[in-house]
Amino acid sequence: VDRRRLTAALALACAALLCACTFSRQRFGDDRFLGADVDWEPGRTTVREVAAALGPPDLVRWSDDRLVFVYRYQQVVRTSFALNFYLNLFSRDQAGQVDGTLVVGFDDRDRLVWWGASRAEDASPTTRTSFR
């Protein structure tokens, strides 16, 4: 079989299979804090050491002499298939999401008091199917 014909046929088959498909990815923030290996010690680690390790935070809160740094990260991956013929005949959407947050609190001497990180990942991505 001619290799060029085979390649063209494969490309056409792929294009036909992927018709009406959409792939998208949204990414907000920096996820480095999720995998950071930190050896912070409450009462000893300073605000500058945290900022030097992870960079400036996304949000800063201050109240009652407590300084709070918030780092955030979000990623959404979406795939969809929508078939139209005058009307929407069939559609299927699937979305998966990863959310990460790190909160670090400091006292009035800018020493670490507490910190906590969360990473939420959709165990079962949202799927929506509709027929007309």
Partner 1 sequence: VRPRAAARVAVALALAALPGCGLVTLVHDSTIGPASPAGRIHDLAVGSDFHVTERGPVAEMGGEPLLRPYPPDLLRRLAEPSSFYSAIHGFEAFMAGVSPVVSRETRIGRPALREGGGEPRPGTAAAEVLQRLGAPELWIRRESGSLMLYRSELHRTFSFYVGVPPVAAAFIPVPGAGNLRVRWAREQDRASKLLLFFDRDDRLEAAIAGADPWTAGD
Burial of 61-88, coded b for 16+ CB within 10 Å and e otherwise, reads: eeeeeebbbebbbebebbbeeeeeeeee
Q: Rule CB under 8 A: is residue 117 a binding residue for partner 1?
A: no
Task: Determine which residue in the list 6, 10, 13, 52 makes contact with partner 1, applying CB under 8 A.
Answer: 52
* Contact stretch for partner 1 (CB under 8 A) within 37-45, 78-86, 93-101, 114-122: 78-86
For residue 92, the cross-strand partners are 81, 129
CA–CA separation, 78 and 116 (whole Å): 29
Contact flags string 5-44 toward partner 1, x per CB under 8 A: ----------x--xxxxxxxxxxxxx-x------------
State the number of CA atoms in the 13 A half-sphere of 46 facing the CB: 4
Q: Which residues lie closer than 8 Å to 66 by C-beta, 6 or more apart?
A: 105, 106, 107, 108, 113
Residue 39 or 65 with smaller CB distance to partner 1: 65
Name the one range near partner 1 by CB under 8 A: 35-43, 50-58, 97-105, 114-122: 50-58
**Residues engaged in binding partner 1 (CB under 8 A):** 15, 18-30, 32, 47-48, 51-52, 54-58, 60, 62, 65, 67, 83-88, 108-110, 132
